[in-house]
């Protein structure tokens, strides 16, 4: 038996001798392991991050945010009329789709129309749109019935659904139907033949792409591709991905699970670092339809009972990777403000919470708290929260289930005793919550709001003020008012910020630090 | 023989039909919403409802069932709800890696395990027997992912003989194919060597006491001929059964091994589909797996007659 085993092993060894050749160490192909496999290819129909990342590979955008959150020209420059009602965009020269056709105003109009039906910010712009037309191949004229100052911010955003520009024939697909042709005018071409949903996707450099002259900054500036191919390969096993990175079989790991960091921290030729200065937030969302969280005082008690520090420490393990932060629009963002967040940022206050519960006349109604057990980044928050709520006198019924069950159940408006729920937890990237028009948790339109359905006219008034604010100062004032309102009314429980480190081979250089992982500007030396 | 095979094939129809109904109902009773996976976390209930409508998920169950069965009868496995790609193509893409690893595993297992089992039976109750049985218990008790990680640590990370992960089709050349397939196959083989060696030993022990073995030995036939040509042939039926079932098992679900070695195979496809509640993919995969079992069992049954001439159909 031993001889047989040795022979088999030897056969493997001899065939690969003298050492394993890395098939892709020619410096022309970057192999990356992203946070998830790519399954949905239509970046307008889904808000999934991986699909948005895919969108930035193959599509371009009219305008894009730079690292100061400022909109910058990308495919087009703009001009705003004095009455702030007409936006004229002029496409720059040399824009071409991957099939060779030039990008025209008609393509832009069709793409914006489709996007506007899906995106909540887009819907708000189209609510005040009088016309959106392309008088010639290079020009797009967007006429509004009333000023909408944040228009450029909304169309320049990088999350959740950026308005990617597609050929007119593709953009004419119904917004509820996924597109079937994946042609953009972005820096990479989608290689359809090498695509295996959820397993592997290959992008080739688009030779005809003409980058802007400005230096790259987040999603703005020159997108100069310096490699021939980028391959995203899915590795469901984190340890395998780390071993593959250490062995030089892959070049880039978008997210490293913090508890596995010791495996590669000391590996030669590998650098572990933060890609994205903003990171993620974790939140708890109460259900406003049913007792006990239909009562503001009970929600406030829950806020007092919980502690950001306790939740984050349990979630991440090391304080290098999390930050107690009371700003619902994110710390370090232009609208980030921590007003009124003391109940949650200064630790748990079970005694005060108890008192408030008594005042509220809480009768021990069970709180159904959903715990997903199959998503590493979401499985600990509910456990910590349940314990904290119990200590404050809540009668907690924690129910374990898979994430899919949470996703289905959170859409149920029934009472908790009939298949409904009281509270669940999830995570967002900071750019997805960084302003009141895109942060779905501050939507207070009752049944039309996000799961939890708060009917909150006051917050809607504040959001409207924000949308109409003409300058940054007025915008910030409205955002601070929303921050205070959310902390007082507890529209959701902001549980702080965390960050996931990335890892790369040292042969990869010149990565742009940004919330969306981008592969332009990046270089790779042969190893 | 032909009539027997035809009868067996026809008998699979009701089996598959029952599996189809069962799978369909089971999936619809499991909570989960493919529309939510498709639309992402920020989708509003109204958006989800529109997507569900488009996917036909709001149709009554019987309509959904008959639409699916109708598709199946036309040889159409449907389209993935999540990736909008044809399910048949997805299975086709993932089948190559899984079948390659399964065949290699079975070859390694049979080459190692059958001689091990024969020798253990021949040297019954000696240290050789003890060694083989100890290995079997060990191979069965240690989880595959542990074996996988140990093999990766030794052969990929320390010795750097083979890559850590990945799959290369045979079209890339025999070298790349073997260097990538060898570790996952060896990992899986530890279980199957254990299984097949035990079965071979037990089966051989039964026939070694038979009269014809004693007669052959008395006639002066060489011991290896007695063991491998006379005895093993008569002990083959249960061994074949276990090899066949093992092969079907390998094809239907080597999820852990596929994950540890990053092989884009059928096991991972199925688990991904289940996590996303991608009904057409799950349904097709379960029917496909059932089909594999039926087919492999048929092959095993037919092959009995080649080893044991007393079996006639």
* Calpha distance B160→B285 (Å, rounded): 36
Q: How far is B202 from chain A (nearest CA, A)?
A: 18
Model confidence at B275, pLDDT cuts 50, 70, 90, reads: confident
pLDDT value of residue B308: 74
* Calpha distance A427→A435 (Å, rounded): 16
Q: Is A198's CB within 8 Å of B40's CB?
A: no
Q: Is B262's CB within 8 Å of A237's CB?
A: yes
Q: Average pLDDT, stretch B258-281?
A: 91
Element (H, E) at A190: strand A188-190
pLDDT value of residue A25: 55
pLDDT digits (tens, 9 = 90+) for A467-483: 999 889 999 999 999 99
Which residue out of B40, B148, B188 would a mutagenesis test of the A interface target, given it has the greatest number of A Cβ atoms within 10 Å?
Answer: B40
Q: How far is A49 from chain B (nearest CA, A)?
A: 8
> Among all residues of chain B, which has the CA nearest to that of A159?
B42
Q: Are B102 and B175 in contact (CB under 8 A)?
A: no
Q: Is B182's CB within 8 Å of A11's CB?
A: yes
CB contact set of A486 (below 8 Å; sequence gap of 6+): A328, A442, A459, A492, A494
Does residue B67 carry a pLDDT above 70?
Answer: yes
pLDDT value of residue A134: 97
Which residue out of A5, A9, A177 would a mutagenesis test of the B interface target, given it has the greatest number of B Cβ atoms within 10 Å?
Answer: A9
Strands A71-73 and A63-65, bridge-based pairing: antiparallel
Residues in chain A with CB shorter than 8 Å from the CB of B269 are 198
pLDDT digits (tens, 9 = 90+) for A87-138: 999 999 999 999 999 999 999 999 999 999 988 889 889 999 999 999 999 9
Residues in chain B with CB shorter than 8 Å from the CB of A428 are 41
ipTM comes to 0.86
Model confidence at A293, pLDDT cuts 50, 70, 90, reads: very high
Partner residue facing B262 (CB), from A240, A408, A450: A240
The count of other CB atoms within 10 Å of the CB of residue B47 is 22
Q: Is B111's CB within 8 Å of A240's CB?
A: no
Partner residue facing A408 (CB), from B32, B94, B174: B32
Does residue A19 carry a pLDDT above 80?
Answer: no
Partner residue facing B38 (CB), from A45, A180, A426: A45
Which residue blocks in B209-278 are alpha helix, DSSP H? 211-218, 223-225, 232-234, 236-252, 255-260, 266-275
Q: How far is B285 from chain A (nearest CA, A)?
A: 15
pLDDT value of residue A11: 40
CB contact set of B32 (below 8 Å; sequence gap of 6+): A402, A404, A405, A407, A408, B277
The count of other CB atoms within 10 Å of the CB of residue A185 is 27
Q: Are A8 and B182 in contact (CB under 8 A)?
A: yes
Q: Are B148 and B184 in contact (CB under 8 A)?
A: yes
Does residue A484 carry a pLDDT above 60?
Answer: yes
Give backbone dihedrals phi and psi of B239, rounded to 5 degrees, phi first.
-65, -45
Q: Average pLDDT, stretch A65-77?
A: 95
Over the range B288-304, which residues count as b (16 or more CB within 10 Å of their CB) and which as e?
Answer: bbbebbbebbbebbebb
DSSP one-letter string for A418-472: GT--SEEEEEEEGGGTSSTTT-GGG--BGGGSSTT--B-HHHHHHHHHHHH--SH
C-alpha distances in Å from residue B193, one per residue of B142, B181, B204: 13, 17, 16
CA terminus-to-terminus distance, chain B? 5
| Least confident piece of the model among A204-218, A262-276, A290-304 | A262-276
Model confidence at A26, pLDDT cuts 50, 70, 90, reads: low
Residues in chain A with CB shorter than 8 Å from the CB of B43 are 46-47
Which residue out of A5, A8, A52, A287 would a mutagenesis test of the B interface target, given it has the greatest number of B Cβ atoms within 10 Å?
Answer: A8
Q: How far is A319 from chain B (nearest CA, A)?
A: 27
* Calpha distance B131→A242 (Å, rounded): 36
Partner residue facing A249 (CB), from B82, B85, B166: B166
Rounded (5°) CA angle A52-A330-A464: 85
CA dihedral (B215, B217, B222, B224) positive or negative = positive
CB pairs under 8 A between A and B: 190
CA dihedral (A173, A179, A180, A183) positive or negative = positive
Under DSSP, is residue B139 helix (H, G, I), strand (E, B) or coil? helix
CB contact set of A246 (below 8 Å; sequence gap of 6+): A263, A264, A267, A270, B157
Q: How far is A136 from chain B (nearest CA, A)?
A: 34
CB contact set of A487 (below 8 Å; sequence gap of 6+): A303, A326, A328, A339, A340, A341, A343, A344
A163: tokens are: 């308005």
Pick the closest to residue B56 from B85, B34, B86 (CA basis). B34
pLDDT digits (tens, 9 = 90+) for B161-214: 999 999 999 999 999 999 999 999 999 999 999 999 999 999 999 988 888 888
Residues in chain B with CB shorter than 8 Å from the CB of A451 are 45
CA terminus-to-terminus distance, chain A? 39
Element (H, E) at A124: helix A120-127
pLDDT value of residue B167: 93
Q: Is A408's CB within 8 Å of B175's CB?
A: no
Q: What percent of chain B has pLDDT over 90?
A: 46
Q: What percent of chain A has pLDDT over 70?
A: 95
Does residue B27 carry a pLDDT above 60?
Answer: yes
Q: Is A47's CB within 8 Å of B268's CB?
A: no
Strands A29-33 and A229-233, bridge-based pairing: parallel
pLDDT value of residue B29: 84
* Calpha distance B248→A48 (Å, rounded): 36
Q: How far is B6 from chain A (nearest CA, A)?
A: 36
> Among all residues of chain B, which has the CA nearest to that of A2?
B112
Under DSSP, is residue A203 helix (H, G, I), strand (E, B) or coil? strand
Burial of B160 (0-12, 13-18, 19+ CB in 10 A): middle
pLDDT digits (tens, 9 = 90+) for A2-17: 334 344 433 433 333 3
Residues in chain A with CB shorter than 8 Å from the CB of B123 are none
Under DSSP, is residue B243 helix (H, G, I), strand (E, B) or coil? helix
> Among all residues of chain A, which has the CA nearest to that of B120?
A1
Model confidence at A375, pLDDT cuts 50, 70, 90, reads: confident
Q: Average pLDDT, stretch A203-228?
A: 96
């Amino acid at each position: 038996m031993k001889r047989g085993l040795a022979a088999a092993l030897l056969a493997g060894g001899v065939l690969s001798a003298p050492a394993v050749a890395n098939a892709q160490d020619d410096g022309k192909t970057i192999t990356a392991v992203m946070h998830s496999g790519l399954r949905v290819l239509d970046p307008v129909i889904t808000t999934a991050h991986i699909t948005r990342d895919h969108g930035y590979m193959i599509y371009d955008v009219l305008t894009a945010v730079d690292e100061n959150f400022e909109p910058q020209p990308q495919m087009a420059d703009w001009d705003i009329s004095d009455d702030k009602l007409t936006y004229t965009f002029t496409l720059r020269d040399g824009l071409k789709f991957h099939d060779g056709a030039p990008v025209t105003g008609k393509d832009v109009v069709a793409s914006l129309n489709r996007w506007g039906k899906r995106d909540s910010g887009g819907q708000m712009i189209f609510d005040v749109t009088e016309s959106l037309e392309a008088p010639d191949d290079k020009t797009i004229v967007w006429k509004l019935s009333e000023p909408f100052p944040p228009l450029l911010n909304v169309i320049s955003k990088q999350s959740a659904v950026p308005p990617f520009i597609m050929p007119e024939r593709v953009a004419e697909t119904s917004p509820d139907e996924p597109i079937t042709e994946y042609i953009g005018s972005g820096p990479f071409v989608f290689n359809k033949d090498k695509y295996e949903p959820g397993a592997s996707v290959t992008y080739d450099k688009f030779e005809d792409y003409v980058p802007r002259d400005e230096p790259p900054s987040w999603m703005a500036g020159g997108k100069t591709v310096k490699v021939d191919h980028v391959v995203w390969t899915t590795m469901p096993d984190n340890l395998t991905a780390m071993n593959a990175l250490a062995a030089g079989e892959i070049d880039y790991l978008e997210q490293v699970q913090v508890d596995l960091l010791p495996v590669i921290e000391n590996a030669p030729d590998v650098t572990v670092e933060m890609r994205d200065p903003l990171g993620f937030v974790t939140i708890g969302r109460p259900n406003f339809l049913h007792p006990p969280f239909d009562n503001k005082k009970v929600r406030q008690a829950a806020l007092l009972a919980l502690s950001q520090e306790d939740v984050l420490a349990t979630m991440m393990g090391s304080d290098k990777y999390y930050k107690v932060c009371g700003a619902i629009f994110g710390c370090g963002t232009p609208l980030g403000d921590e007003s009124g967040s003391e109940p949650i940022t200064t630790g748990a206050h079970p005694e005060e919470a108890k008192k408030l519960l008594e005042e509220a006349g809480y009768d021990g109604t069970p709180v159904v708290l959903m715990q997903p057990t199959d998503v590493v980044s979401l499985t600990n928050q509910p456990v910590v929260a349940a314990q904290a709520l119990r200590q404050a006198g809540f009668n907690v019924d924690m129910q374990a289930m898979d994430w899919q069950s949470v996703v289905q159940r959170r859409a149920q408006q029934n009472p908790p005793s009939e298949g409904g729920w009281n509270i669940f937890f999830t995570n967002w990237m900071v750019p997805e919550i960084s302003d009141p028009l895109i942060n779905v948790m501050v939507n207070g339109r009752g049944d039309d709001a996000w799961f939890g359905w708060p009917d909150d006219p006051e917050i809607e008034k504040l959001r409207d003020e924000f949308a109409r604010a003409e300058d940054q100062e007025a915008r910030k004032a409205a955002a601070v008012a929303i921050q205070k309102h959310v902390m007082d009314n507890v529209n959701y429980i902001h549980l702080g910020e965390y960050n996931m480190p990335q890892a790369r081979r040292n042969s990869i250089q010149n990565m742009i630090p940004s919330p969306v992982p981008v592969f332009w500007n990046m270089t790779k030396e042969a190893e | 023989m032909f009539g027997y095979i035809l009868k067996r094939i026809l008998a699979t129809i009701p089996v598959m039909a029952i599996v189809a109904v069962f799978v369909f109902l089971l999936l619809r009773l499991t909570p989960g919403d493919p529309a939510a996976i498709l639309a992402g976390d920020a989708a509003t209930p109204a958006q989800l409802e529109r997507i569900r409508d488009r996917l036909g998920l709001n149709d009554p169950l019987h309509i959904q069932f008959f639409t699916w069965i109708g598709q199946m009868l036309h040889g159409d496995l449907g389209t993935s709800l999540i990736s909008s790609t044809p399910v048949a193509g997805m299975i086709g893409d993932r089948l190559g890696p899984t079948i390659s690893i399964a065949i290699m595993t079975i070859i390694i297992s049979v080459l190692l395990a059958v001689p091990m089992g024969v020798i253990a039976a021949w040297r019954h109750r000696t240290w050789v027997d003890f060694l083989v049985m100890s290995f079997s218990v060990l191979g069965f008790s240690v989880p595959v992912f542990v074996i996988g990680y140990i093999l990766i640590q030794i052969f990929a990370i320390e010795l750097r003989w083979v890559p850590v992960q990945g799959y290369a089709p045979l079209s890339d050349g025999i070298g790349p194919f073997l260097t990538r397939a060898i570790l996952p196959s060896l990992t899986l083989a530890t279980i199957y060597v254990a299984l097949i060696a035990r079965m071979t030993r037990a089966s051989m022990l039964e026939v070694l006491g038979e009269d014809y073995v004693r007669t052959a030995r008395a006639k002066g036939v060489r011991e290896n001929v007695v063991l491998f040509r006379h005895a093993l042939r008569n002990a083959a039926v249960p061994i074949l059964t276990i090899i066949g079932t093992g092969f079907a098992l390998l094809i239907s679900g080597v999820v852990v091994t596929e994950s540890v070695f990053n092989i884009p195979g059928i096991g991972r496809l199925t688990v991904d589909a289940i996590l996303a509640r991608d009904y057409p993919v799950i349904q097709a995969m379960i029917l496909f797996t059932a089909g594999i079992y039926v087919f492999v069992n048929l092959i095993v049954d037919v092959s009995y007659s080649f080893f044991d001439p007393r079996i006639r159909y």
